[in-house]
Amino acid sequence: MRRKGSAPGLPEKNRGNLNRMSLTQGKTVSTTPRFGRLDADMGDVESAILRSREFLLSQQHPDGYWCGELEADSMLEADYIFLHTLLESGDPARLQRAFTEMMRYQNEDGSWSIYPGGPGNISLSVKCYFSAKLMGLTADEPRLEKCREWILANGGVVACNTFTKMYLCALGQYDYDAVPAIPPEIVLFPNWFYFNIYEISSWSRSILVPLAIIYAKKPFKKIPPEQGIDELFVGGRANSILRLRMNRDAVFSWRNFFLILDRITHWAEAVHIRPLRKLALKRAEKWMLARLEMSDGLGAIYPAMLNAIIALRCLGYSEDDPQVIRARDEFEKLGIEQPATPDMPEPTFRMQPCASPVWDTAQVVFALGEAGVPRNDPRMIKAADWLLSKEVRHKGDWAVKVPKTEAGGWYFEFNNEFYPDTDDTAQVLLALNKVDNPRERYQIQVAERAIEWEFAMQCRNGGWGSFDKDNTKMIFQYIPFADHNAMLDPPTVDITGRILEMLASYGYTREDKRVQKAIKFIFSEQEPDGSWFGRWGVNYVYGTFLVLRGLEAIGVDHLEPQVQQAAEWIRMVQNPDGGWGETCGSYDDPNTRGVGPSTPSQTAWALLGLLAAGDDRSDSIAKGIRWLLQRQDSEGGWDESVGAGITRQALYTGTGFPRVFYLAYHMYRNYFPLLALTGYKRAMERAS
């Protein structure tokens, strides 16, 4: 489908010529392999593609979609135990299984990490320690003794983030007066006001509104003294909190301005000067109830759903109220029961942060289409129809800044009507373009609507954020309760690269001024070494691959210096085994970008980036392809785990909040390698 007024794209024959260019030499390369290089046998590549295709097709749900597990750190199980302790609910046997799952991941030094192999995290370790005590472990238990030593050595409870402290307050383990204030009056600020709630990220909005209700109501449940965690405060609980209050920098800064405002708010709370509190709570309740509709729970994400359950109970909703029942049912649906196995002698229960059916389905359909599954295959049509059924047709929070645009696009989960995002929308459009649907006219109309929505969401600097437009007011990072490092949703190059790829597939070219702005944004964000930061995947390998695919699709010449430099960076960080890997630690230390054990997903990303840059004949490509071929299992999939037995865990290559929360998408290891192998096969065919 070509938009009116758009120019034709780069002719296919010219693209083929560019693909035959050597990225490092800048000249045409012979199709004969260079001396000393061992290319993969094309028969092996084709066989691997076929096995991968069949494996993915076997995973399709009868309704037409795919949905892999989302794995995250032990915070989810710890918070699950906290919630049911606070509300005196839950299945005791399931809680015990969640506790077993949580304890699997304790580190040798006693801490818990937010990603496999990472350093201990203070907030997570305190949560897990407390949850273990709630489940019956005592302070003198060796595992807790070791954890306590680590926590005290790293600052104790006061070093935790605001969300952790709020949960501790509800069970009497921290003081509400010592937690940064989250007054519900924030929902009363008009949309034109600089500090209105639509100037913070959508996920922070859905987490903080119910949390503001909790802060206002200040729930409290008394627990037995032996379950308390006073021993985790350095120098004692009272002295530790007092020192925290007194430790304020005297110089002026936005941080200190908000700290002063925070103390004023606490003083007003103490003397009951809250003239708008009743109105604010009503407004917050109305806001929350509206977004519980047409959604798999508030925001369809774990922390917002958990907070919403507590907030409803704080507002006086009974345990058998339909709103509470539905909220809890949606929350419990995120759970996965794991039966006992030879490697796991005890059954466990774990929680997912959300579900990813739209995302996984769009990725799989696109990969299968690239891999040669016919466009009219009934399974592809069924998947496309399922995706079409998930189109957003109601205006959500995004419309506050884009009020005159018709609703369109897609969200990430099964149902989340208020929060479509630009990244899912672009990927769904790429997928739909691989299917010949009998309802062709309808599918075209949906695609046109979604593309118009995407353009309306483009930020002033030319890039795209995920859920909101121009969500970039850096001042919000200084608010005391903003220590979860995710208050904003600024434009990112990874999303922008994917959107460029999608636009190219629908006929847009570099002659479009909106495309030109996007390319300019991408080039302005390139790192000195040639890589690009990855906001939604780990990390520079992810960002660089998506940018290169977007630039290649939209017609940027492979020989542009920015493209060559990016490809050279990818080759430089290739592991000796031929694969690529990068750990979540690169978000904390950019000097480690591109460093980590090889994984199927990241190896595929690197290969896709090189292929998009016109490098189809280097040793790096040959080694990377062989790495994937050698590690494909007999069923056609790949493994992306570390450890053995009860400590076995998937490596995290997905990003929730940089430096705070990471994910293992269990299907990444399968559909991205298929895409890479297919891209390699096509490149070899063009070069022959």
Give the residue numbers annotated as catalytic, written as ranges: 423
User: By C-alpha distance, which of 55, 56, 43 is closest to 629?
Assistant: 43
For the chain, what is the total number of helices (H) and then of strands (E)?
A: 24, 7
Q: Are 500 and 430 in contact (CB under 8 A)?
A: no
CA-closest candidate to residue 454, choices 423, 419, 488: 423
Q: How many other β-carbons are positioned within 10 Å of the β-carbon of residue 279?
A: 13
The residues facing 376 across adjacent strands are: none
3-class SS letters over 596-637: CCCCHHHHHHHHHHHHHCCCCCCHHHHHHHHHHHHHCCCCCC
User: How far is residue 519 from each of residues 448, 463, 500, 508, measured CA to CA in Å?
Assistant: 22, 8, 8, 13
In angstroms, the Cα distances linking 303 to 79, 299, 354, 567, 609 are 9, 9, 10, 38, 34
Tokens at 126, concatenated = 């305190």
Q: What share of the chain is helix, strand, coil (3-state, %, to 5)?
A: 50, 5, 40
Question: What's the rounded Cα separation, in Å, for the pair 162 and 177?
Answer: 12
Picking from 77, 5, 10, the residue whose alpha carbon sits closest to that of residue 338 is: 77
| Residues 6+ away with beta carbon under 8 Å from 603 | 579, 580, 581, 624, 627, 628, 673, 676
Contact 89, 319 (CB under 8 A): yes
Backbone angles phi, psi at 342, to 5 degrees: -55, -35
Q: Say which DSSP state 407 is in.
A: P
Q: Round the CA-based radius of gyration of the chain to a whole number and report it.
A: 26
Instruction: Tell me the sheet residues that pair with 351.
Output: 335
Q: How far, in Å, CA of 490 to CA of 474, rounded?
A: 10
Q: Which DSSP string corresponds to 666-684?
A: TTHHHHHHHHHHHHHHHHH
